[in-house]
């Protein structure tokens, strides 16, 4: 019960913090095809992480090693071997405040680089990862359709709950191959 209340307060505070930063109108085809750097927030569910292998390979091909930054949760230590040369940021539980927002130190580490694309690979709504995407100030912020997604992402992908996560991530990989 208190977790839901704290998350609600975090969402309201986020809405207040970003109220003067409306999203600009973008032509997504050009924005994605010209993108040079990407921030990828890995799923916090360790079981889902293995489903992202094809997508990560596609992103690595498109963005190269040093132009790709991965954000991993505290319990997520599994990434494919070929991704070890990418920039990796760890988000630990103690780096979140009481209302589940990342502390300034994390946001400052993320903002050290400029990102053209931010991708949240969590299929369910997780406030810290959504906040990281929004705070990254990336032109294109990609997430999956879920509650509150409109506030954080300007490009949303519909997931099919009946299909395995790997199918959803493979679809996203195909989308990136088109650009």
pLDDT of residue 134: 94
**Residue spans of the chain under pLDDT 70:** 1, 22-26, 77-78
CATH superfamily of 2-17+31-178: Glycogen Phosphorylase B; (3.40.50.2000)
Model confidence pLDDT, tens digit, residues 140-171:
999 999 999 999 999 898 887 778 888 999 98
pLDDT of amino acid 1: 60
> What's the pLDDT at 109?
93
Backbone angles phi, psi at 4, to 5 degrees: -65, -40
Half-sphere exposure of 100 (CA within 13 A, CB side): 18
Exposed (0-12), middle (13-18) or buried (19+): which is 105, by Cβ within 10 Å?
exposed
Q: What are phi and psi of 169, to 5 degrees?
A: -70, -35
Give tens-digit pLDDT for 12-25: 878 787 777 766 66
């Amino acid at each position: 019960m208190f977790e839901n209340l704290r998350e609600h307060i975090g969402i309201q505070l986020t809405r207040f913090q970003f109220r003067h930063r409306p999203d600009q109108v973008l032509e997504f085809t050009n924005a994605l095809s010209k993108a040079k750097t990407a921030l990828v927030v890995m799923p916090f569910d360790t079981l889902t992480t293995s489903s992202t292998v094809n997508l990560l390979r596609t992103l690595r091909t498109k963005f190269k090693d040093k132009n790709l930054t991965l954000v991993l949760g505290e319990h997520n230590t599994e990434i494919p071997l070929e991704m070890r040369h990418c920039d990796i940021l760890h988000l630990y539980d103690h780096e979140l405040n009481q209302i589940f927002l990342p502390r300034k130190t994390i946001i400052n580490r993320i903002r050290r680089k400029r990102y053209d694309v931010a991708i949240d690979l969590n299929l369910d709504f997780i406030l810290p990862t959504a906040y990281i995407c929004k705070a990254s100030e990336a032109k294109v912020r990609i997430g999956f359709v879920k509650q509150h997604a409109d506030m954080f992402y300007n490009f949303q992908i519909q997931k099919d709950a009946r299909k395995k996560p790997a199918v959803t991530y493979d679809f996203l990989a195909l989308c990136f191959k088109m650009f």
